[in-house]
Amino acid sequence: MQLEIKQVSKQYKGDVWALREMNLHMKKGIVGLLGPNGAGKSTLMRILATISQPTTGTVTWNGIDIRKEPDELRQMLGYLPQDFGVYPHLNPIEFLEYAAALKGLGGRQTKKRIMELLELLNLHHALKRSIGSFSGGMRQRIGIAQALLNDPRLLVIDEPTVGLDPEERVRFRSLLTDLSGDRIIVFSTHILSDIEATADQIAILSEGRLLAHSDPASLLRSVRGKVWSVIIPDEEIQNARAKWTISGTIRQDNGLQLRIVSDVPPLPEAIEANPTLEDAYLYIRMKQGEV
C-alpha cells in the first residue's frame, strides 16, 4: 500500500502557484501535513481525493496513476474536507444512508456498517436526533463515519480539529490512532499538538513547497543543540523578538524566560534546552527565512 506524489505542481489563474514540485512518498500509518494557512495543504488533499488535478506531475496509488485511472483509488478512498456539510434535518442513520447511496453502497451490509460506525464513533446514543442539534465534535464524527463507509485504505482528512474544544480534540486524535493500523491516513493541520499526538510521519509545507518530510524522532534530532533557554529583563522583550526566533516565554520573578531557536547560543549565559516538535518546525521555517 503506497501513495506517491511526484513533482506535483498546481497553478491557479493569475500565475498563482498553490503547489510547486511536491514530492512525497507515503506508506501505511498517519502522515501529518503541517504548515500555516495558505501553505498548500488543502490543495494537495483535493488532488489526493481526485477532486482536483495537478497542473504538472503525477500521483500514483500502488503504482497506478490516479489521474488516468481515478476509480482505482476512489473505491478505496475516504475523504473529509475542511468545509464538510451535512443536512441538519436528517438524523445520523438517514444521513449516512444518503452518503452510502452516493458512494454506490447499499443493502443489508451497508446498514450493518452504519450501525457499527455509529457505535465506534460513540454516536449510538443520538441515533434519532437531528444532526443540526449536534456539537462541532459530533458533526466531525459524522464526517469521519461517512468517510469510513467503504472501509477505505486511504483516508484523507483536512483540518479535522478546527473548532473542536480540547476534550473533543483529544478524542478525535485517539480515533485517528485507532484507525491507522491497516490504512494510510493523511491529515492536515496547523496545530502542532495534533501532529505530535498522532503522526508517524510529518510533512512540513510552506508556500506550496515541501520543506521537510521525516518521522518525529528524526525531526527532534535535527534541532538538538539549537534550542536555548535564557532569562532577560521584561523591558528587553521587543528587542529579543527582533533578534531571535522565540518559541516560548514564561514569566519569572526575575524576568522573562525565553525559549530561543538558534544555531548558536543567543547569549553567553544561555542554557541548552531539550527540543520539541514546535522548535523543529520553527527551525526549519527559520532556515527558509520565513520566521
- Rounded to an integer, what distance in angstroms lies between the CA atom of residue 6 and that of residue 50? 15
- Rounded to an integer, what distance in angstroms lies between the CA atom of residue 222 and that of residue 218? 6
Question: Tell me, what's the pLDDT at 263?
Answer: 95
- Cross-sheet strand order for the sheet of 154-158: 77-80, 154-158, 184-189, 29-34, 201-206, 209-214
Q: What is the chain's length? A: 291
The CATH architecture to which 3-220 belongs is 3-Layer(aba) Sandwich (3.40)
Domain spans, the chain: 3-220, 225-274
Q: What is the largest CA-CA distance in the chain?
A: 71
Percentages of the chain per state (helix, strand, coil), in multiples of 5: 35, 30, 35
Question: Tell me, what's the pLDDT at 164?
Answer: 75
Is the pTM higher than 0.85? The answer reads yes
Cβ–Cβ contacts within 10 Å for residue 51, how many?
Answer: 12
- Rounded to an integer, what distance in angstroms lies between the CA atom of residue 104 and that of residue 202? 34
How far, CA to CA in Å, does 281 sit from each of 38, 205, 229? 16, 10, 17
Burial class (CB in 10 A: 0-12, 13-18, 19+), 255: middle
- Rounded to an integer, what distance in angstroms lies between the CA atom of residue 5 and that of residue 53? 12
How far, CA to CA in Å, does 180 sit from each of 44, 177, 197, 262? 20, 5, 13, 35
Question: Tell me, what's the pLDDT at 290?
Answer: 66
Strands 56-61 and 3-12: antiparallel
- Rounded to an integer, what distance in angstroms lies between the CA atom of residue 60 and that of residue 194? 27
Burial class (CB in 10 A: 0-12, 13-18, 19+), 80: buried
pLDDT along the chain (291 residues), means of 10: 95 91 94 90 95 96 94 92 87 94 90 93 90 87 92 92 78 85 89 87 94 93 96 94 94 94 96 94 85 63
